[in-house]
Amino acid sequence: DKTHLNVVVIGHVDSGKSTTTGHLIYQCGGIDKRTIEKFEKEASELGKGSFKYAWVL
């Protein structure tokens, strides 16, 4: 059994909530590197390369 953890992220608009949460999911193994690379490519094509982790959500 895995322990469940509920996390609440609060912040102002454009403060990096989605990016931080997406990065946490990636670092914990919730999404693979190949998918992150795909998100990074798609985000870069739209001029938003730094949003790759936000796209996890």
Share the mean pLDDT of the chain.
92
Rounded Cα gap, residues 39 and 28, in angstroms: 17
DSSP conformational letter for 32: -
Q: Which position has the higher pLDDT, 3 or 21?
A: 21
Question: What is the H or E stretch that residue 43 is in?
Answer: helix 33-45
pLDDT score of 2: 77
Q: pLDDT-based confidence at 23, cuts 50/70/90? A: very high
- Calculate ∠ Cα 5-26-17, nearest 5°: 70
Residue 20 — pLDDT band, cuts 50, 70, 90? very high
Is residue 35 helix, strand or coil?
A: helix
Whether residue 49 is predicted with pLDDT greater than 90 in this model: the reply is: no
- Is the Cβ–Cβ distance between 22 and 53 less than 8 Å? yes
